[in-house]
Amino acid sequence: MDPRELLTIAGAAGFLAVGAAGGPRSEMLVSTDWLAGHLKDRSMVLLHVARDRAHYDAGHIPGAVFVPWSELVTIREGVANELPPVVDLKRLFERCGVSDDSRVVLYGDTLLLSATRAWFTLDYLGHGGHAALLDGGLEKWRAENRSLSTEEPAARQGRLTPRIRPDAVVGLDQMRDLSWVAANVPSSDVVILDSRSPEDFRKGHIPGAVNVFWPDTIVSREMPTLRPLAEVERIYQAVGVAHGRTIVTYCNTGVQATHAYVTLKHLGYDVRLYDGSFSEWNRAKDAPIQ
């Protein structure tokens, strides 16, 4: 197929980004100082996302509601960490107190990766504009000797109206086309961003992908605050990220890549997630590995 024809097909299918350059979305990140001053806001829902309930029970930020990882993701056709059915996600977030007018603040375990996956999920449900991450997460909160609680707040039922954003997610067939464009069309408008470690990237990656290991954008594993925005932007621009380009993130199972997804959204870029990631790609037919 002529590359120009494939680009036309991709554009018609909504794969290629259009529109003017955006600016940083400052509302997507809140500081520990801000959170400490807003813990009693009735419109705010504070969520603690973790794989193990013990992480929450050992001490959480006062007022935080526990979100079990097992309900945030599912296994589909052997691929882990996929989006569950919308009805299940709606039930989960409503049980945690999230409503259409809620201001949601997220933190969790695994250096905020659980929280970034939850933010992506809310964005997919159309609530990303009302959600933010706690910069530095529980690690920073603890380092500042702020108060912790072992009491679970009373349940408050929410009412959330999902407004699904299918453009937030890229499927396998779409990824095949985007990979072909990124690997074969000079100066294409496609950036495929692999968020895994350089070692994993070298072992095998989706053709046309570039690599930025997601921890390179945080201060340290002990203090997982985001580096200065100008520095983070330089890291991503060095591999071709730019406004007006189609940016798709992936990793092993769609978790590490959500950190890049959220970070690039915070910087004002249009970005999508290949949720099946390398786990799905590696077992699919007609999906070459570079």
Task: Write down all domains in the chain, each with its CATH number in brackets.
Answer: 3-22+166-283 (3.40.250.10), 31-143 (3.40.250.10)
Residue 249 contacts residue 174 (beta carbons within 8 Å)? no
Residue 240 in tokens: 């071709």
- What is the distance between the alpha carbons of residues 19 and 245, in angstroms, rounded to a whole number? 10
- Structural tokens at position 259: 């950190």
pTM of the model as a whole: 0.91
* pLDDT at residue number 22: 61
Q: What is the pLDDT of residue 18?
A: 31
* Cα separations in angstroms, 274 against 110, 120, 129, 172, 176: 21, 12, 21, 8, 11
Q: Compute the distance between CA of residue 195 and CA of residue 254 in angstroms, rounded to an integer.
A: 9
The pLDDT value recorded for residue 222 is: 93
Q: What is the pLDDT along the chain (290 residues), one digit of tens a residue?
A: 333 333 333 333 333 333 335 678 999 999 999 999 999 999 999 999 999 999 999 999 999 999 999 999 999 988 899 999 999 999 999 999 999 999 999 999 999 999 999 999 999 999 999 999 999 999 999 999 999 999 999 878 999 999 999 999 999 999 999 999 999 999 899 999 999 999 999 999 999 999 999 999 999 999 999 999 999 999 999 999 999 999 999 999 999 999 999 999 999 999 999 999 999 999 998 899 99
In DSSP terms, which residues pair with 35 in a beta bridge?
none
